[in-house]
Structure 1
Amino acid sequence: MKNNIIMNACIVPKYGTEEDIIIREILKPIPREKELLIKVHYAPVTPTDLTSKKGDSFIFRLFSSLIRPKFGVYGEMYVGEVTEVGELVKDFNIGDLVYGTNGMKLGTYAEYVRVKDTTVIRKVPKGVEPINTLALLDGGITALPFLRDKGLIQKGQKVLIIGASGSVGSMGVQLAKNYGAIVTGVSGTSNQELLKDIGCDYVIDYTKTKYTESNYRYDIIFDAVGKSSFIECQNILTEKGSYLITVPDLPAMLKALFKVKQKNKKSLFAATGLRKPNLKNIDLDYLEGLLINKKITPVIEKIFDIKDMTKAQQHVRTGHKKGNIIVDLRKI
């Protein structure tokens, strides 16, 4: 079926960066028999959604080039309203408020996004502010498998979280506390009170204290922003401690790829974003329960209008955001 209906979308022209972002009309997608059309209300701005530019790491530039989306519409996650459903879609109806991720197909920085019913798509739980579900996607389903599956976190363990004020780090702090860990958060001067508010037992201002030279020893070190290395952190790990990193260097990637067995102190990485939808849904069941019961609190620093996407992406690129940065697409 031909489609002549247009919609507005946030576009990064070919070979462009965030400075070149424009709002442009493109064809509105038509859902196939097992797909839904979502009217996007909000979407988070994450490092995954940034275009690469000179000065970025090789790994980031490679990843960015591999996932360049069709039509130049980035954006992986969303919360919005179902406006159309394919004839074979069973679990969703027009008018449902839903949140989810479109994976590497991206496309959520637009008025509408088309998603398959087999992707991670969930109804917003009753009593939950829809925008808060984005913190479960941009933070929760990364931090949880790292701490639980890679770190094997246990009650009473000492956990150091580097980048504790960001989207992944702030969720990591709260999840670690729910597991009964003793948590130390690392962030800059302006974020110290935030770290205390979300549950850190101890806080370190990295601009004043070199945490890698501490006499304290940690069972788990979780670098949520890729600002450290295993070599730097070995001395502050316990004898059988685990170093977890979300942004790997080449050695960490090779260890994960070839499943290298490590005795005693371990450096571990997981491509959590590439996990299958059923595993992410299991984690979201757990995270929704914590959110509903007020065991975790989403941290949202700022909501930008979609017309200010350049500013939003520039802020994320600084590496100093607090929790989540969101763009509002309701009036695109």
Structure 2
Amino acid sequence: MTADSVTTAAPTPARHRPSVMDVARLARVSVGTVSNVLNRPERVSPRTRSRVESAIAELEFVPSESARQLRAGRARSVGAIVLDVGNPFFTALTRGVEDRIGADGLALLVSSSDDDPERENRALQLYEQHGVRGVLVTPASAERADLHALRARGTTVVLMDVDGEDELPSVSVDDVLGASLPVAHLLELGHRRIALFNGPLTIHQCADRLAGARLAVVNAGLDPDEVLVEMPLPSLNAEHGTLAAERLLALPESTRPTAIFCVNDLVALGALSTLVRAGVPVPDGVAVVGYDDVPWAAMLVVPLTTVRQPTHEIGWTAADLLLRLDGEDAVGPTRVRFAPELVVRRSSDPGA
């Protein structure tokens, strides 16, 4: 088809959104009567209520939630900021949040910070302007001044997947313990050079997982500086797991680590697929361990050994804590920490 034969239809004019006044005009009642039908129907006679409801249906009128919030003085939404909503761990986490707040008829707004504190702060500002009931945050850095300021201005703040060491309420997992488990497992299998594919240490989880890895080496009576080979990643995704694995394979075989501990399962996916493509046997050539136990971890060509976190429960509990605090219910702890568990599969143990 040539360009001359293409025709362009005129754009359809935007449809006028029906208002309360439109409903009142069609039903031949006052605006106040329409408001009563929407909010206090028991105050309106059945005959009048039926006429208003028919007008609402005919016009396909949808009440303004923002106006309803202003009248009620109570927000009906909760904001959440995670590092990367595309990561299956955070997808499951936010699903846990949604399941909890949905039971109270609330809506969830979700943003990804992409590990960027400035982007996180912009999302906080937008949520505050929107007037959300509260904010659940997986912080992009150890700096929490913006979160404390938001809390001081009256917005409830709860940390997710990070411990509230600075008195902010939190729901987290013991990441020091979580990282020590897979490294101890690799040491028991005889590995003495373990690559650590980790992210920026400004991210609390990355710092804790480094500490846990080093602790496991010390507990085994070895020197962490001799055993652990840190290979920092700028982002915690499969692409950078691939790049790190390529760097590892470029090392001389005499000094190349025989195992990799990845900060999360997305990084492990990139590392594992790179090893397989390069013809390196897993785990006999290089063992791979991840962190999170995302749904597909057990379904890979080489099932992934990983650290399981109660992801949905973390999100649900964080949302429940936020709603309790927002309701000024002082009952119960304001810092909750779950214990992780190691799930051993074939990527580290050929007998698993």
TM range (shorter): 0.3 to 0.5
Structure with a larger share of its residues in helix: 2
Structure number with bigger Rg: 2
